Amino acid sequence: MKKISLTGIKPTGSLHIGNYFGAIKPALELTKDYDARYFIADYHALNTIKDPKELAANIRGVAAGWLAAGLDPGKVIFYRQSSIPETFELTTQLMAFTSKGLMNRAHAYKAAVQENTEKNEDPDAGINMGLFTYPVLMAADIILFDSDVVPVGRDQVQHIEMAQDIAQAVNFNYKCEVFKAPQALVQEDVAVVPGLDGRKMSKSYGNTIPLFCDEKTLRKLIMRIVTNSQSVEEPKDPDTSQIYLLYQLFANEEERRSLANRYREGGMGWGEAKEELFSVVNRELSPLRERFNEIIANPAELDAILRRGAEKARPIAAATVRRFRKAAGIE
Ligand code: ADP
Ligand code: TRP
């Protein structure tokens, strides 16, 4: 039997190239060897997005993004989290095995508390229970489908470890393997894709290169990448250059070597390096953009794909919830 790979993306904005290299591409690569279950984590997005139109558009945008990037819904079980009610029953089941202390230590919650403290506000200001219990819902997403591996960027590893802890706490209590304990799978070379300002590329920092923006916007954004004040003549170090780090993701080996040499020789300004970057990014993203535009223009078909995915997912989910009920004495 093949092992199971599962991952989700929360539809809190437009997909960017950090999502693509850190999550989507490695996840699609895994579909060759694993049975894959990939989904849109829409109830995770509800914690931050309260505008219904925005959330609905984001859900379709992320779904179309997966498909444009090459997800084959005939091979991968592809669905929306909100279409699987068993997720929420399992969340309640897992709550009873999750210590509050574990949630106190979750990075996202801690960061929000720290931000409030720095602003001299109440530590829990603006923090809803959805954010606080976020890792339990995520553990349910994962455990529900008997996942072996969860391909994610490095920032998500703590959540997968929590899912592992929670699954093990249940198994330990009932002295049998009620749930499978998952493993995070981080592709190290693309674990953190840098953004326009050099920090991790993230929707929350507003420093992203969106995956499906038009060519003009793409060029404009690339020209905005922050550089140092080295002159054209000066030799430059590719390994510390933002532009080069991004270039590496899109270029082939020969192109990488050639641009690294031009950096080291001097005589190439940042403007020229950015043009080189634009050309390889656009080469890879143009066909994706075209597919994305076609898919998003046909929402009924997109919704049907997700519905069919949910139909395949639900019996698997129901079996997991039943297993817990039986172990717990709630039949
Ligand atoms: P964002 O930080 O923009 O809100 P998400 O948290 O929605 O992104 O991330 C969705 C997936 O993409 C996760 O698996 C995450 O690890 C991955 N990811 C996001 N940003 C990056 C990045 N800059 N580099 C690598 N992976 C990333
Ligand atoms: N928390 C993930 C993120 O912010 C999204 C997510 C929700 C997820 N449930 C998941 C990822 C289950 C992997 C597995 O990116």
Smallest CA separation from ligand 1 atom 8, residue: 202
Residues annotated as catalytic are 119, 200, 203
* Rounded Cα gap, residues 162 and 175, in angstroms: 19
The per-residue pLDDT for range 168-221, each reduced to its tens digit, is 999 999 999 999 999 999 988 776 899 999 899 998 899 999 999 999 999 999
The secondary element (H helix, E strand) that includes residue 184 is: strand 183-185
SS3 of 303-315: the string is HHHHHHHHHHHHH
Residue partners of 163: CB distance under 8 A and separation at least 6: 135, 138, 139, 142, 143, 150, 181, 182
Atom of ligand 1 at shortest distance to CA of 191? 25
pLDDT for the residue 191: 67
- Structural tokens at position 20: 């693509």
- The answer to whether the beta carbons of residues 150 and 182 sit under 8 Å apart is yes
pLDDT for the residue 154: 84
pTM, full prediction: 0.94
Q: Is 268 in the pocket of ligand 1 (CB under 6 A)?
A: no
pLDDT for the residue 71: 98
Residue partners of 176: CB distance under 8 A and separation at least 6: 327
The per-residue pLDDT for range 32-42, each reduced to its tens digit, is 999 999 999 99
- Averaged pLDDT for residues 15-20: 94
The per-residue pLDDT for range 208-257, each reduced to its tens digit, is 999 999 999 999 999 999 898 899 999 999 999 999 999 999 999 999 99
pLDDT for the residue 192: 83
Smallest CA separation from ligand 2 atom 2, residue: 9
Residue 23 in this model has a pLDDT that exceeds 90: no
The per-residue pLDDT for range 308-327, each reduced to its tens digit, is 999 999 999 999 999 999 99
pLDDT for the residue 292: 98
